[in-house]
């Protein structure tokens, strides 16, 4: 199975990256894993031009930047893991811009607003310095609504809060990665996909 991880922190070896790497190592034992570090891509948020709504079977975004390649990788994945720190109670700008670019995947002018990634399996990993309830609540809710809009299937959402430095994550690094791998293996949609 193809797993695409989308890394939203500009700090590649920070808290989010450290946990994500532990997950990727475990997943790579049996699956193909591709990492997208958003910091390496040059793209903007949605312009609201609605060019994408003039076509029904492809994203058709009017912007000619690296966002097209990111969306192509997401479309090709069986599972997409979005990994992000909390910035100002929200997503960092790069992750927010990518969420906006997902707009091209739902054809809202057509009856039933078909989604080009309907049924796609997704996970969310969040890290934050404050408590989960006070700091990550808006990110969790935004992600839930966005994935509902896209008609994706959420396998799990994980928050690692009260972060200081990657070294001080201690057992939480391995435990969170294990939890993600466990939930993935136990998900009925994933099991069905694995059986072909
Ligand atoms: C610009 C900026 C804004 C932040 N805003 C918040 C916030 O609103 N709430 C919070 O709990 N932590 C906030 N943090 C802390 C990070 O979410 C936290 O340290 C996170 O684990 C960093 O992940 P990273 O090491 O992968 O970049 C912020 C950090 C930065 C740099």
Alpha-helical regions (H) of the chain? 15-27, 67-76, 93-101, 137-150, 171-186, 188-195
3-state secondary structure of 87: strand
Q: Which atom of ligand 1 is nearest to the CA of 130?
A: 11
Confidence (pLDDT) at 11: 98
Give the integer Cα–Cα distance in Å for 103 and 149. 9
Backbone phi and psi for residue 156, each to the nearest 5 degrees, phi listed first: -175, 155
Contact in structure between 188 and 170 (CB atoms under 8 Å)? no
Which of 129, 159, 164 for mutating ligand 1's site (highest number of atoms within 8 Å of CB)? 129
Alpha-helical regions (H) of 28-136? 67-76, 93-101
pTM of the model: 0.98
Confidence (pLDDT) at 167: 95
Q: What is the CA radius of gyration of the chain?
A: 16
How far away, in angstroms, is 66 Cα from ligand 1 center? 25
Alpha-helical regions (H) of 28-134? 67-76, 93-101
How far away, in angstroms, is 8 Cα from ligand 1 center? 11
| Nearest CA owner, ligand 1 atom 22 | 85
Residues framing ligand 1 (Cβ under 6 A): 9, 11, 14-17, 85-89, 127-130, 135, 163
Identify which of 122, 127, 161 has the alpha carbon closest to the alpha carbon of residue 143: 122
Mean pLDDT by 10 residues, the chain (196 residues): 98 98 97 98 97 96 97 98 98 98 95 94 98 98 98 97 96 97 93 84
Confidence (pLDDT) at 195: 82
Quick one: residue 112, left, alpha or beta (phi over 0 = left, psi -120 to 50 = alpha)? left
Give the integer Cα–Cα distance in Å for 11 and 31. 25
Give the integer Cα–Cα distance in Å for 5 and 123. 9
Confidence (pLDDT) at 196: 74
| Nearest CA owner, ligand 1 atom 16 | 128
Counting every residue written for the chain, the total comes to 196
Residue 44: CB atoms within 10 A of its CB come to: 12
Domains and their CATH numbers in the chain: 2-195 (3.40.50.360)
Contact in structure between 41 and 98 (CB atoms under 8 Å)? no
């Amino acid at each position: 199975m193809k797993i695409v991880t989308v890394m939203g922190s500009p700090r590649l070896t920070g808290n989010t990256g450290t946990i994500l790497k532990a997950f990727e190592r475990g997943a790579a034992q049996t699956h193909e894993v591709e990492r997208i570090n958003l910091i390496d891509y040059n793209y903007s948020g949605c312009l609201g031009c609605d060019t994408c709504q003039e076509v029904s079977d492809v994203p058709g975004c009017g912007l000619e930047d690296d966002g097209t390649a990111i969306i192509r990788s997401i479309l090709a994945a069986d599972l997409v893991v979005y990994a992000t720190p909390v910035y100002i109670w929200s997503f960092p700008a790069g992750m927010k811009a990518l969420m906006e670019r997902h707009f091209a995947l739902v054809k809202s002018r057509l009856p039933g607003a078909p989604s080009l990634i309907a049924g796609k399996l997704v996970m969310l990993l969040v890290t934050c310095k404050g408590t989960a309830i006070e700091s990550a609540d808006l990110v969790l809710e935004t992600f839930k609504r966005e994935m509902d809009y896209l008609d994706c299937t959420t396998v799990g959402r994980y928050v690692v809060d009260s972060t200081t430095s990657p070294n001080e994550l201690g057992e939480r690094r391995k435990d969170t990665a294990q939890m993600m791998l466990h939930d993935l293996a136990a998900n009925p949609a994933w099991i069905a996909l694995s059986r072909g």
